[in-house]
Structure 1
């Protein structure tokens, strides 16, 4: 079924005449238009991309079969108003979890002849289960990350800074086919590795450091995500202990994950291993998240996630242990969920690498 027809079904279910899609990833998913500015409009009678002159040609090329509306001096409010007046729309849905309040206020004042109806994440939820084509794009994106990890090991040595490693990773991701990074690369060494989302600094890598690298790229719109932690020099017994506990937790979660489980059920498997090993309070984030057109999607693998994980979803599995003043370990794979288990898209070595 064409994606705009799926949106029309949502309109009917919610008793709205049309919907205005503002989330950029949803716009691309529904229409194909990947421009940075605009809206997608879908009613029972028509489907259109509304954008400005900078993106008109792009919209015409990408949004096949869509009416393209280029705004004039009256801006988006006038263009949307003219569209829904001609379409006799009385109830217009909008993505209340994505639209800025200032944009909502402008629309509300300009469209006082129509009711604006919040639809929360109804459109976003359409993206949860990936098609075979989407899965293939994510798989390719992750394979680029595997190539980069293999090569970056030859670059890391004492004296090289975190910023230099991060820059090299981002360069290689693009060199091997990524359109862009799916998020700024995380490179954290030594005590900095105790921060799960550390920002790379000018700190020089030293012998004995943990080095955690978390990175991904975008391939044909779809994201990848992986993390590996290594040691520069010989690992201490404490480093080996922490690493092996995290690896045990990750392998157990990977072995458990399948369609039909709640996200919190999978999280608990890894969390129990880490907590029972004496590191309660050292794993403060969720086990994982969905990945697609956006790097952090739902449902998640977390201690509070009640949603069921379904076949065709793509999830990260990334337990960690983080010890203030010492360092930390995270190991992350990207997997496709199936009825019977997972297909792991990440193939980089997970044994403790000592450079």
Structure 2
């Protein structure tokens, strides 16, 4: 769970007295309440309160470490109004709707201040319990991939592969973390090519990107697999991406700047003539959200710390030809790193 002590220090630095939390992942991080989309959290200098409605009375009591107010708007705002009277109250500018902001203005005698990334900043470093949940999610994904890999053959639809992965995750007791990407042949040039009706053909490379969710925490892994014998040109692209991915993972340790990792992988692909084919950042943090900080992108000033969990996922995408992405989930440790994703990578 995110630290309220650290969050209050972040509020002070941002020049606000309190924070109205509406992002579902941040609600869960602060309260433990798993239905964050139907909850809000108010954090002040001396208290933190979960607001939700009567559908969740029992669930909130069982899950939340915070005191709860069970009410619907406008009663929710009216209860909170007394707690924020005359204060500067931050709201999550990247999540709160205009209607939600207008409701706060109508009920509160407070100065409302847009903020960004306050809760996210204290979610960057995971607790041992959070790491364990991510580790468990990835272990399930590894087992499911191992079971499904032999079925990825010519004549099988991408949708059938995605369905097998989703069914395997659910049977193992996990949730499906995000829309499963299965992009074969020319569709491999689509970084977010979710599964389609396309039938996999002999000689295709097939990009599989999927993850499990356990206790709210995600895993994330990509493997590009060969069906039959791909062309030598595709194999060269695969080997270049694997080289970039391996080098970037090996460089992970505390104190490394995230932007430098992106530059390392990008430089390797550039030497292979694939600079323009790498169309996205190297990676991102993973936790209660599938995409969170730190950001492994060009120019990122984020610095890796022990307890961060990040992806490393260079790719090369060639329109009309195909594509390759290889992604590992990596824990930053005190002395270096630990690769959490164990599924083997193809050697082409």
Class of the TM-score when normalised by the shorter of the 2 chains: over 0.9
> Is the counterpart of residue 39 in structure 1 residue 40 in structure 2?
yes
TM-score by length of 2: 0.94
Question: Relative to structure 1, is the Cα distance of residues 278 and 45 closer, same or farther in structure 2, using a 3 angstrom cutoff?
Answer: closer
What CA deviation, in whole Å up to 9, does each residue of 1:121-156 have, x standing for no partner?
111110000111111111111111111111111222
Question: Relative to structure 1, is the Cα distance of residues 15 and 152 closer, same or farther in structure 2, using a 3 angstrom cutoff?
Answer: same
Deviation at 1:87, TM superposition (A): 6.0
What is the 5 A alignment of 1:254-273? Answer: 254-273=249-268
Structure 1: 5+ residue runs without aligned partners? none
> Across the two proteins, how many residue pairs are aligned to each other?
347
Structure 2: 5+ residue runs without aligned partners? none
What is the 5 A alignment of 1:1-355? Answer: 3-35=3-35, 36-64=37-65, 66-72=66-72, 75=73, 77-85=74-82, 88-111=85-108, 113-178=109-174, 180-352=175-347
CA distance in 1, matches of 2:220, 2:238: 20
What CA deviation, in whole Å up to 9, does each residue of 1:74-107 have, x standing for no partner?
x1x4422333325645322222222122211221
What CA deviation, in whole Å up to 9, does each residue of 1:28-70 have, x standing for no partner?
1111111131211122343211111222221111113x22212
Question: Relative to structure 1, is the Cα distance of residues 27 and 191 closer, same or farther in structure 2, using a 3 angstrom cutoff?
Answer: same
TM-score by length of 1: 0.93
What CA deviation, in whole Å up to 9, does each residue of 1:145-203 have, x standing for no partner?
1111111112222221111111111111111231x111110001110011111121101
What is the root-mean-square deviation in Å for CA atoms of aligned residues?
Answer: 1.8
Contact 2:39-2:50 within 8 A present in 1 as well: yes
Contact 1:190-1:327 within 8 A present in 2 as well: yes
Deviation at 1:14, TM superposition (A): 4.1
1:316 aligned counterpart, secondary structure: strand
Contact 2:154-2:202 within 8 A present in 1 as well: yes
1:154 aligned counterpart, secondary structure: helix
